[in-house]
Amino acid sequence: MLKNTLLLTFLFALGFQLQAQVTFQTKVSKNRMGINERLKVSFEMNQNGDNFTPPNFEGFRVVGGPNQSTSNSWINGKRSFSRSYTYFLLPTRKGNLIINQATVLIDDALYKTTPISVEVTEAVKTPNQSGNADYIADQNVHLVAEVSNSNPYLNEAFTVVYKLYYASEIGISNVNEVESPTYGDFWSNLIPIKKLEMKQGVYKGETYNYVTWRKAVLYPQKTGALTLEPLTLNIMVQVSSNRRNLFGDIVYRQVPKTITAGKRTINVKALPEEGKPKNYSGAVGDFDLNFSLNKKVLKASESFQASVKVAGRGNLNLFTLPKVNVPAALEVYEPEHSENIKTNLLGMQGSIQDTYTVVPEFQGNYPIPAVSFSYFDPNKKQYKTLVSEEFMINVNEGPVAGNSKADEKFSSVLLRPNLNENQFTFIALETEFSPIKTEAAFFGSRNFYIILLFPFSLVFLLFLWLRTKQNITRDPMTLRQKAANRLAKKYLSSAKKNLGKKETFYDSLERALHNYLKAKLHIVTAEFSKNRITNLLGEKEIEPILIKEFVALLEACEAARYSPETAVSMEENFDRASMLISKIDKQL
């Protein structure tokens, strides 16, 4: 009997130990396949690991993946965890091919999978992939970057439109950007897409449904081969399982998939040196020039405005407007710059304008020279120069420049003083004497005693302040309350910053609520329990509904770490916490 008991105890302990062991293994969809078939390889582990390194897949070509999936669940108080990395492989030769070891680091220990052999035979007539949901998803979903011009000139606009193509027999959902292009070598402008609309288009000769995910207008700022960084999306593909439920509806399988548009190379041409004007400032496109004055006849010291306006389609805010040159007798102020630009798939279009304020000093006729503007037309592949008309300004009143008699008369009026007999009456000419009063002695006066007692009063006040501060410092409850108040503000602020990061957000929110209670109820962390919190808040005569909501919020913070939460739910919980703290604080 004793032997049986010991044997059962040993077997139970051995089974528990084996259950708690780390497993890291390779699973393949088939061990025998044709050279024209695809192989699904999954590397699965039952504990979370870091630094996963796949094998080199010698003899295979990776056509999909890695697709990463994680499962974390609690059943009857027991945690079940699994993580897998999935690849789709296409064999490059026949024979016995080996899926070599993959490695992962779990709890500072290195784990390796066991190599698996796969036999690759002659090509089969119809690859047996019809029931493979991963294969169907891989073959019927494509992310494509459509570039309007892959060989533009420097500063010439082109567009990149990212389209997500998918076959009509499948569905897509939960689309999220994993990697977004930054367009480092380009001036970029994203065109907002207000609503995703499904359309039909042709991709590689076949009809697909598609949605336009992103549109951007780019202006290259360098010449040579420039790289467009890839756009990568995580999507959930819904594939039909050819089965129906009790109500006759088709049952769909959901397959997570990561797709990318890949990198694109843009070959940017330099602008030709032949025929380049001296005043060229970098404008590329098709433009018109307008130079105008709001006045042509005026008086001296009055002002007029000269406007230089360039309108059309091109890199409008990437070049400078020509300057206005005027005679030296006209005072010119810095121009006021204004823009009216709209951006669509054809690039920037609209106008830019510089408005100068000019003030004449003397009367006369002043010529305003013409303004010239040069730009490069990429369609005609040549430079063009626009020249405006000249203007004449007529200043008909005011001083005349270069007239010596007028200048002398004007100067004499300014320099000759206007004297009269009462010019200096404010100066006193007679002196009155008065006796000097003898002041009382300072020693023994009221000011003497005030100055004498001031240092002693200051020392006494300093002593009282230090004594009060020392009493506060000695009171651990006061210090704990101040520290808890600071931590509550800190974590509530931290929770707001971490909206969208589930674990960090709820950890900060729960800490903020606990520190608020420590500050207001004078309790320590060890005393936290829902019954204790309910009783203490009840003793403070807090409304029962507020107590119930506060405890429910703490429970929600604990449960949210192990359940899916959206950013909207996090924001609602944050607003709920702020409202509860405000209401409880008023009642306390």
Q: Are 97 and 78 in contact (CB under 8 A)?
A: no
Nearest to 184 by CA among 114, 263, 127, 81: 263
Structure tokens at 566: 């959206």
pLDDT digits (tens, 9 = 90+) for 328-345: 888 899 999 999 999 988
Most confident of 13-22, 108-117, 134-143: 108-117
Query: What's the rounded Cα separation, in Å, for the pair 484 and 517?
Result: 8
Structure-model confidence comparison of residues 470 and 554, the more confident one: 554
Looking at the chain, the whole-number percentage of residues with pLDDT higher than 70 is 79
Read off the amino acid at residue 581: I
Residue 249: per-residue pLDDT: 66
pLDDT at 80 over 70: yes
Out of 51-65, 276-290, 412-426, which region has the weakest mean confidence (pLDDT)? 412-426
The pLDDT score that the predictor gives to residue 265 is 92
Domain residue ranges of the chain, discontinuous segments joined by +: 22-127, 136-268, 285-395, 476-587
Dihedrals φ, ψ of 583, to 5°?
-70, -45
The residues pairing with 311 across neighbouring beta strands, listed in sequence order, are 288, 351
Mean pLDDT of the chain: 81
Residue 535 binned pLDDT confidence (cut-offs 50, 70, 90): confident
Residue 538 has what pLDDT? 83
Helix (H) or strand (E) segment spanning residue 164 = strand 158-166
CATH number of 22-127: 3.40.50.880, 2.40.30.130, 2.60.40.740, 3.40.50.10800?
2.60.40.740
What tens digit of pLDDT does each residue of 247-277 get? 666 667 888 888 888 888 999 999 999 999 9
Task: Report, in angstroms and rounded to the nearest whole number, the Rg of the chain calculated over CA atoms.
Answer: 41
Comparing 132 with 228, which gets the higher pLDDT? 228
State the Cα–Cα distance between residues 68 and 43, nearest whole angstrom: 10
* Helix 476-497 and helix 446-474, axial crossing angle in degrees, nearest 10: 70
Contact 303, 355 (CB under 8 A): no
What is 285-395's CATH number? 2.60.40.740
State the number of CA atoms in the 13 A half-sphere of 459 facing the CB.
Answer: 5
pLDDT for the residue numbered 15: 46
Residue 484: how many other CB atoms lie within 10 Å = 22
22-127 matches 476-587 in fold: no
Distance (Å, rounded) from C-alpha 535 to C-alpha 517?
A: 12
Task: Please spell the DSSP secondary structure of 376-440, one letter per residue.
Answer: EETTTTEEEEEE---EEEEE-SSPBTT-HHHHHHHHHHHHS----TTTTTTS--S----PPPPPP
State the pTM of this model: 0.49
DSSP-assigned letters across all residues of 526-574: GG--HHHHHHHHHHTT--HHHHHHHHHHHHHHHHHTTS---HHHHHHHH
Decide the pairing of beta strands 391-395 and 364-368: antiparallel
Q: How confident is the model at residue 500 (pLDDT cuts 50, 70, 90)?
A: confident
The domain 476-587 belongs to what CATH superfamily?
A: Nucleotidyltransferases  domain 2 (1.20.120.330)
What number of CA atoms fall less than 13 Å from residue 73's CA on the CB side? 4
Angstrom distance (rounded) from CA 216 to CA 193? 10
Short-list 534, 526, 528, CA closest to 551 = 534
